[in-house]
Amino acid sequence: MAQLRIGSRGSQLALWQANHIAALLRERGHGVEIEIIRTTGDKITDVALAQVGAKGMFTKEIEEALAENRVDLAVHSLKDLPTESAPGFDIAAITQRQDARDAFCSRRYESIDHLPDGARVGTSSMRRHAQLKALRPDLEIHPLRGNVDTRLRKLEAGEYDAVILAAAGLHRLGMADLIRQIIPADLMCPAAGQGALGIEIRTGDTMTAQHLEFLDDLAARAATTCERALLTKLGGGCQVPIGALAEMHDGELHLDAIVARPDGTRILRESGDGFDPVHLGETVGETLLERGADEILEEVYG
C-alpha cells in the first residue's frame, strides 16, 4: 500500500474535504498525511474575490507543492480549479457530487422573498450578487469574505440579515440546520463545478492515479466537464457572473446556464441537451455569446 501526502488549504471546509478523502484512502490500506498550504486567496481576505482577479488564487501554491514533490495529490473544491489545468497537472478524480445549489442562511427570515426592503445580504460572489439583484433590486449586497464559520459568525453578530453560501459546504460541515432555504437553480444558477471535489495530481504519476481511480464518479465528471466546457467557451473564471448546472437524466445531460450583468439588470439564460459533455457545454456557450454574453463579459472584465 502507498504512503500518500495530501495538499490542502487550511480552512475548516478544506480540511474536512482533505480528511474525507484521506479516510477513504485509509480504508483501502494507504497511509495518508495532510499538509496545510496557505494560498493567495487565503492571504487576501479584505477584498472581494472578483476584484482580486488572480487566476488560480486558491490553487497556485498547492500546485507548486505538487510540482516540488512535497505532496502527491491535492484536494480542491472543483469550482476553485481553473477550467484549463496548468501544464504538468491532471484532475485524476472528480468525486460524487453533493447538492450543487446555493443556500440562504438567516437568523430571522425564512427565504429571499421574506427579506424586508433594503435588507443587507452578504456574498463576495459576483454570480450570486447579480442573480440576487435580479430577484430583489432593493437588497443591499455587501462583500463577505472568510471561511464558512467566519461568514456565519458575522451573520450571528447581526452584520447581515442573510448570507448566501454553497449548500454542499454547509452539509459537509454539519451546519445544514442553519439553512433556511435551498435556492432553486432556476432562481440562482450555481457555479460550474459547485458541490464536487477535484483531486489533482502530477501528469504522468500513474501510480497515484491508480490509487485514486475508485474516487472518480462518472456522472459527476460528465456534468462538471460540461459546465467547465461552457465556462471555457465564455472565457470565464470562477469569479465572473456565469452560472452553469448540468444534470444526467437517463444517460443524457441537460445543461442550464446564465450570464448576468453584475447589477442584475440583464440575465441571459440558455439550456440544451446532449450526450457529449464538451460539445454540449461549448454549444450552449456559443449560443450565449451570439445572444450578447460577450458584451456583458467585456463590461465585467473592463
**So which residues are the catalytic ones?**
80
Residue where the block lists cell 457555479: 191
How far is the first Cα of the chain from the last one, in angstroms, to the nearest whole number? 51
Exposed e or buried b for every residue in 106-137, given b needs 16+ CB within 10 A?
beebeebeebeeebbbbbbbbbbbbbbbbbbe
According to DSSP, residue 159 is labeled S
Distance CA 76, CA 65 (A): 14
- How long, in residues, is the chain? 302
Q: How far apart are CA 228 and CA 93, in angstroms?
A: 15
Is residue 289 within 8 Å of 234, Cβ to Cβ?
A: yes
Grid coordinates belonging to 18: 482533505
Spatial distance between the Cα atoms of 206 and 209, rounded to a whole number of angstroms: 5
The sign one gets for the Cα dihedral 158, 161, 165, 167 is positive
Q: Which three cell numbers stand for residue 203?
A: 501528469
Give the Å distances, CA to CA, from 271 to 75, 196, 219, 262: 30, 21, 19, 21
Residue written as cell 456574498? 123
From 216, 240, 219, 215, select the one nearest 230 (Cα to Cα): 240
Beta-strand relationship, 140-142 and 162-166: unpaired
Q: Decide if 126 contacts 262 (C-beta within 8 A).
A: yes
